[in-house]
Structures are given as structure tokens and as C-alpha cells.
Amino acid sequence: MSAILEVEDLRVDLAVRSGNRTVVDGLSLSVARSEIFGLVGESGCGKSVTAQTLTRLLPNARIVRGAIRIEGVDVAKASEAAMEKLRGGTVGHVFQEPGSALTPWMPVGRQIREVLDLHRPVDDPEGEVVRLLEQVGVRDPALRAHDYPHQLSGGMQQRVLIAMAVAARPGLLVADEPTTALDVTLQAQVLELFRRLRDRTGTAVLLISHNLAVVARHADRIGVMYSGELVETGPAQAVLSDPRHPYTRGLVAAIPTLPPSSRPLPTIPGQVASIDPEAPGCRFAPRCPIVVPACHAGHPAMSGKDSLRQVRCPRVPLD
Ligand SMILES: Nc1ncnc2c1ncn2[C@@H]1O[C@H](COP(=O)(O)OP(=O)(O)OP(=O)(O)O)[C@@H](O)[C@H]1O
Ligand SMILES: [Mg+2]
């Protein structure tokens, strides 16, 4: 399968008031065409910075090392004109908080039409807007196209954003916590929608969330991110049912069960530490239940480099 997105040994630093802050370091992943890849990890591990760096959306971010390639475009080196084509054209973004991502004073149909005019001019834009709204499950799309964002529910606003993100028929949809603002029923509907869109149009999806259970149910493969790098990757169901890395094990153990267990839910002690790229050792070692002195010495590499299943922990080699 050829990849639409390839990230190779990426390091991203952010310019902050106190100087420079490394938030992604050593991240490698690839997303194949038509694949739904789930990127999961605790708050602050660098998921959103990664998502936004893919199309250079963060003004204070700098790609210090490594590469991002999208449809053959080398993102670190591409011209601003090439990036403009990529954003909203080859790559569609769906972010959290649909309310703030829509323009409040413009009917939603016109907002979708602007994307079409810019990235995929068609003969009948009005009709195409209605078709796009229909495709994302909006009922009475011809009427709803005239609504302003505030007239729509949160779930409907998120559908409009998805319609905008797919209007240009992107090869890759980057969805960063697309369902956090929605209730559980709507969450499931929106995630189901990504699957249907993928099946119908072949759009690959990078689905980002801190909720491993949600992502594992809707993705083909997942990557577990910790402190700016992947610590485990593999087919979604395999990772969920047989997690190997102690961090992934902690995340899986923390998934609430139904009916609720009488035991308190286990949590992973400590929190994500800031990254020191020069520091030796495993970044998870200070929180790891199976840590040994050697873990503080060398930075562990991913095992199973060419296999579907990879783990960054020499204590749990893959068989
Ligand atoms: N624009 C910014 N300027 C400075 N620091 C930032 C900026 N955006 C993110 N950070 C910091 O970079 C680190 C990674 O943040 P990021 O938003 O990528 O995490 P995340 O994995 O998306 O978390 P969450 O699950 O909470 O969305 C965090 O420590 C965060 O505080
Ligand atoms: Mg985030």
C-alpha cells in the first residue's frame, strides 16, 4: 500500500517566551491511502502540534529534524504557495470546537461553497453544497444550507465542518479530537461518518484522540504517542486486546468497563514530562511499573522496525 502521509524521525520545537521548547522528538509514522490511522496519547504528548505541523499551521513551530511528506510534497521545504494548495486541498482539517471554527455571520452553505470555489470549482456549486451536506448526514440539506452556525446544534455544526473539510476531495483528512465537544451518541455517528466517507471516497483519515477505546473501535491501525514519539503501533484491535508497552497497558487498563467494576479504575501515576532531547534513557521510565536501571541509560529504539506491530521497550520484545 502506498502512503499518503509519511513522517520520519520528526522533531518539532516551539518558540515560547522562555525560549525553545521541544514538543515532538523522534516521531515516525505513515498513513496509507484509504487508511484510518488513530493517534492516541495523554494530554500534552504532542498530538495537536503534530497535526498542525503537517500543513505548517503553527506560526511558532519549527521542524528541526526529520521529514513530513504528503503526496510527495516535502513539507519542511515546500514553498508557501505549495502549502496553500495542500491546506484544504490535499489535506482537510477537522478540529475540536466546531462553533469557533465556523464563521458566525455567514450561512453554512456559503462557507462550504467558498472551499469549492478555491479548491475544486464545479459547474453547479449550489447543488454540490447540497450533495456534500447530504453526504455527511444533514437532513433537509437545501434548507440547512441557508442556516447560520448558531441555528445548528453542535453535532450539525461538526457535520458542516466535515463537509467543508472533504469538499475539495482531500486524500487525507486530519481530525484532531473531532468528537470531544459532542455527546456520546453524536460521537459514534461522526466517527461512523469518517468510515463511510473513507469507503465511498478513499480518503485516508488521521484520527487524533486521547481516548484509546474510541479510536481503537474506529481505526484500522493505531499509534500510541508518549512524550513526542510513538511507543507502540499496530492493528487497532491487536493493540487494544494485547497491549505490549507498559504505557499502552496503562491506557488500556484505564478504560472504564460496563458494567462498572467494583475495583477503582487504575491510573498511570505521574504526568507527561517536558522533553529534553539530550536526556538519555526512556522517556516513560520515571512512570514505568517495570523499569530497571538500564532504562535510564539508552533511549530505546522501536522493535520490529519493518513489521506491522512495533514497540519501543526492550523489556517487552515482540515475538
Ligand atoms: N502554540 C503553542 N505555544 C506554546 N506551547 C504550545 C503550543 N501548543 C502546544 N503547546 C505545548 O506543547 C505541548 C504539546 O501540546 P499538544 O497540544 O500537541 O498536546 P496534545 O497531545 O494535543 O494534548 P491534548 O490531548 O490536551 O489535546 C504541550 O506541553 C503544550 O502546552
Ligand atoms: Mg490536542
Q: Residue 165, Cβ neighbours under 10 Å: how many?
A: 25
**Ligand 1 pocket member 14 (CB < 6 A):** yes
Ion ligand 2 contact residues with beta carbon within 5 A: 47-48
- The 8 Å CB, 24+ separation contacts for 261-270 are 268/42
Least distant ligand from the CA of 16: 1
Query: For ligand 1, is residue 300 a contact (CB within 6 Å)?
Result: no
Contact status, residue 165 vs residue 206, Cβ threshold 8 Å: no
pLDDT of residue 113: 96
Inter-residue contact 229 to 47 (CB < 8 Å): no
Separation CA 294–CA 315 (nearest Å): 10
**What was the pLDDT predicted at 62?**
95
Instruction: Look at residue 58 in the predicted model and tell me its pLDDT.
Output: 93
247-229-48-186 Cα dihedral, nearest 10 degrees: -40
pLDDT at position 158: 86
pLDDT truncated to tens, each residue of the chain (319 aa)? 689 999 999 999 999 888 889 999 999 999 999 999 999 998 889 999 999 999 999 999 999 999 999 998 999 999 999 999 898 789 999 887 666 789 999 999 999 999 999 989 999 999 999 999 998 889 999 999 999 999 998 888 988 998 999 899 899 999 998 887 677 777 888 888 889 889 988 999 999 998 888 888 899 999 999 999 999 999 999 999 999 999 999 999 888 766 666 655 566 666 666 788 888 899 999 999 999 999 999 899 998 777 889 999 999 877 6
C-alpha span between 83 and 9 (Å, rounded): 21
Q: How far is the CA of 62 from the centre of ligand 1 (A)?
A: 14
pLDDT value at residue 193: 85
Q: Which atom of ligand 1 is nearest to the CA of 52?
A: 18
Please answer whether residues 114 and 145 qualify as being in contact, where contact means their C-beta atoms are separated by less than 8 angstroms: no
- pLDDT number for residue 269: 66
Domain boundaries, the chain: 3-90+170-311, 107-169
Is the CB of 12 within 6 Å of ligand 1? no
Closest CA to 247 of 283, 211, 221, 207: 283
Distance (angstroms) between ligand 2 centre and the Cα of 200 equals 28
Which atom of ligand 1 lies closest to the CA of 225?
Answer: 21
Angle between helices 154-166 and 125-135 (to 10 degrees): 120
The CATH class of the 3-90+170-311 domain is alpha beta
Residue 106, classed as helix, strand or coil, is coil
The maximal CA–CA distance of the chain, rounded, in angstroms, is 66
Ligand nearest to the CA of 52: 1
Is there an atom of ligand 1 within 6 Å of 46 CB? yes
Ligand minimally distant from the alpha carbon of residue 39: 1
Q: What share of residues in the chain are helix, strand, coil (percent, to 5)?
A: 35, 25, 40
Let me know how long the chain is: 319
